[in-house]
Structure 1
């Protein structure tokens, strides 16, 4: 009886504590709704009385940032404002000019960073924690413009290879190895395997690796418009190889998706798949005996280079709380970053000495080897144009023509046609 009563007391205490936290959070949110302003059809907080205002797009970040604010030092009263990506930077500039309601910190994809930098919406990151000791060159390059750090690497996505260990004992080093495997593998004898290799062939994240070693737009940091190399012999050879794969594996780009690829792999119906960070949780929960490998080269001579998409945190130079913003952005992107995946499913850009979750170490290795999308303002639709080129190649269009058209289009966008 005493044990039962003790349990009830503990439950009551926990309930009271939870209610107190909820009231504090509710009061903070109520304060955040004091003054509102319409901007581009959205209602945005103008004056919340919060310690910091943070703008973001991805709603999955909310529990992590709120928990971080609660745990940070003596706790912070923050206002999280979800703002659509449409005219995102323009809205920040608008609020900066008005001098009220501007974000102290905002979260943005790295390919938008040059636009933010050129508009005077970034501040220099001089924090010594953001070095190659704690971040890969890929992460630091994603947060850089004009040769210097102007943001804080936060989280990323990238493409990697998975393989079913029940049928493939070792990670493939090349796609040629997968083709050799396919030529001798008896799928019918397994009773379950339907596919040798699957990936979402209409998504640049998974496709880019086939040509990534032989294209360069914007240089190392993706912000130098004088560097354009989108048409060379190795690129055309890689496009030819990619086209041959499309004919061999017969993937229908009109019906395939990253979700269907993941489902087929976790059900044991596919031997090799190309997946992204969001698939890791399902892979580990599926119970399938799998391995993770970096994106294979095409052949022994044709190399691959996977794509990564890095999201960064930026401290607004117009913030009225610069020092406080710099310290908190360090907390969420560096000091406390080990908790990011568990609360959001997003993988932190920060490196760690070890990883408890299977697969993470290899994904980080892949991230370090990957290329980022360019930040060039004039080539903001580069990823769309590149995927369109790959779609055309997949459908059988001439590879040399497609590469030449792609390069010419980008040179024209950058006004470099007469300089080449």
Structure 2
């Protein structure tokens, strides 16, 4: 969760300018033109995509995080064996790639293929840093989750080659909870028999001070941040009737579930209570599974309990591969991005790093279906909404976070709190008058 928040905040801070520079030959790089980027191959019989012919003498550079290097080395080795195209790996962490590409791309120094979280698209696409996923578009849409495909699209155009997905869901201690609750009302009923604040025993916790998690109360009833798949910052749905209803339900949970201030629950506090056997259920992401298993806990992972009778919608994130618009070898780069986004690649990524596949066939592979935790996260992901890609998302976190804190800690009226937050967001987005 923290890395998604960092990615979003970074995106909001970037000021994209037209940058020039010299490449190795002394010429200023320019984005690949439509003519030079246009693939010469066409779709094959039976709807399958014909092979794309790479440029003669092509060699590629790919950026990825240090933690993914072993996986990437194996996949790029297979790519080189198949296509005869050498690939160099450079270690650049995901949150840094768009900022680095902003300067390195026009200078002819950027990687041909990059990989980062989808919520950076609002910076990368308007800056002209990426080539659309055009040649493999039909294949990509067919093979990957619709939620993932929508996440790596911007303004109706597909740019990404999905790689992995993540969201948060319900993690429970099977020694304390025999069966995952179906609704938050069931959680409340369990809490009445289990909660003991004096002994630090609680039925459930989530980071109450973090909108990333609290979004489920807004979205599950029909609220939203920005319209048009998170790209229209002029359409704010954080204070519509459905959002107010969700916030009202959120407020009702304090007395029955967590009689404490929102700032009193942190990631580390929850982890300590859960691993000690005091906390029965945790709402968290896949990044915590290893720690819980290493603590010797028998855990279950299930979709989030329903809210007000509605399936609970979580925020989600999607990592994908992208082709640098300034690549000298755009066809070869497309081949590599598509190769790295394949079912085989996603399954290897899962095996070596635990990354959850976006590919539908990979998600149904026995390796995934026999892993209860991954299967549980995928079930929730399929009922999630990707975090908005609009650059204005950076203006949302503080006002809406304060609204949730005011309602939970001070009993402020939910509608008044949300109206105030939305006005602050509109002011930050450009002073649009509240409706």
TM-score, length-normalised on structure 1?
0.78
Residues 186 and 419 (structure 1 numbering): CA distance in 2 closer, same or farther, change over 3 Å? closer
State the match for 1:14 in structure 2. Answer: none
Find 2:391's aligned residue among 363, 377, 384: 377
- Partners of 1:193 and 1:398 in 2: CA distance: 29
Find 2:332's aligned residue among 304, 316, 324: 324
Of structures 1 and 2, the larger Rg is shown by 1
Find 1:412's aligned residue among 419, 422, 427: 427
C-alpha displacement of 1:286: 4.2
CA contact 2:162–2:341 (8 Å) conserved in 1: yes
Find 2:267's aligned residue among 241, 249, 258: 258
State the match for 2:314 in structure 1. Answer: 306
- Partners of 2:249 and 2:322 in 1: CA distance: 40
Specify the SS of the correspondent of 1:308.
strand
State the match for 1:29 in structure 2. Answer: none
Find 1:95's aligned residue among 104, 120, 127: 104
Find 2:205's aligned residue among 171, 177, 198: 198
5+ residue gaps, structure 2? 1-22, 25-56
1:222 counterpart = 2:236: no
Residues 170 and 84 (structure 1 numbering): CA distance in 2 closer, same or farther, change over 3 Å? closer
Find 2:364's aligned residue among 353, 366, 375: 353
Counterparts of residues 158-177 of structure 1 (less than 5 Å): 158-177=167-186
State the match for 1:62 in structure 2. Answer: 69
- Partners of 1:193 and 1:408 in 2: CA distance: 38
CA contact 1:53–1:81 (8 Å) conserved in 2: no
C-alpha displacement of 1:416: 7.4
CA contact 1:193–1:271 (8 Å) conserved in 2: no
CA contact 2:113–2:336 (8 Å) conserved in 1: no
Find 1:211's aligned residue among 199, 215, 218: 218
CA contact 1:278–1:346 (8 Å) conserved in 2: no
Which deviates further from its counterpart, 179-188 or 345-354?
179-188
Deviation per CA, 1:106-128: give whole Å up to 9, x if none: 22221220221111112111313
- Partners of 2:281 and 2:201 in 1: CA distance: 11
Residues 171 and 227 (structure 1 numbering): CA distance in 2 closer, same or farther, change over 3 Å? same
C-alpha displacement of 1:232: 2.2
5+ residue gaps, structure 1? 1-45
Find 1:82's aligned residue among 86, 89, 92: 92
State the match for 2:323 in structure 1. Answer: 315
Specify the SS of the correspondent of 1:163.
strand
CA contact 2:171–2:301 (8 Å) conserved in 1: yes
CA contact 1:217–1:228 (8 Å) conserved in 2: yes
Deviation per CA, 1:321-361: give whole Å up to 9, x if none: 21222122222222311121332233232232131422212
Deviation per CA, 1:52-107: give whole Å up to 9, x if none: 22234x43222222232223341743131426846x53542322322x21221122
State the match for 2:27 in structure 1. Answer: none
Deviation per CA, 1:16-47: give whole Å up to 9, x if none: xxxxxxxxxxxxxxxxxxxxxxxxxxxxxx87
Residues 134 and 400 (structure 1 numbering): CA distance in 2 closer, same or farther, change over 3 Å? same
Residues 255 and 279 (structure 1 numbering): CA distance in 2 closer, same or farther, change over 3 Å? same
Deviation per CA, 1:187-241: give whole Å up to 9, x if none: 69xxx98221122223333322122233223335321234322212332232222
Specify the SS of the correspondent of 1:115.
helix
State the match for 2:402 in structure 1. Answer: 388
- Partners of 1:380 and 1:193 in 2: CA distance: 35
Residues 196 and 67 (structure 1 numbering): CA distance in 2 closer, same or farther, change over 3 Å? same
Question: RMSD over aligned Cα, in angstroms?
Answer: 3.2
State the match for 2:115 in structure 1. Answer: 107
Find 1:364's aligned residue among 364, 378, 382: 378
CA contact 1:187–1:193 (8 Å) conserved in 2: yes
Residues 137 and 169 (structure 1 numbering): CA distance in 2 closer, same or farther, change over 3 Å? same
- Partners of 1:392 and 1:194 in 2: CA distance: 25
Residues 296 and 83 (structure 1 numbering): CA distance in 2 closer, same or farther, change over 3 Å? closer
- Partners of 1:332 and 1:105 in 2: CA distance: 10
C-alpha displacement of 1:136: 1.9
Counterparts of residues 237-276 of structure 1 (less than 5 Å): 237-248=245-256, 249-251=258-260, 253-276=262-285
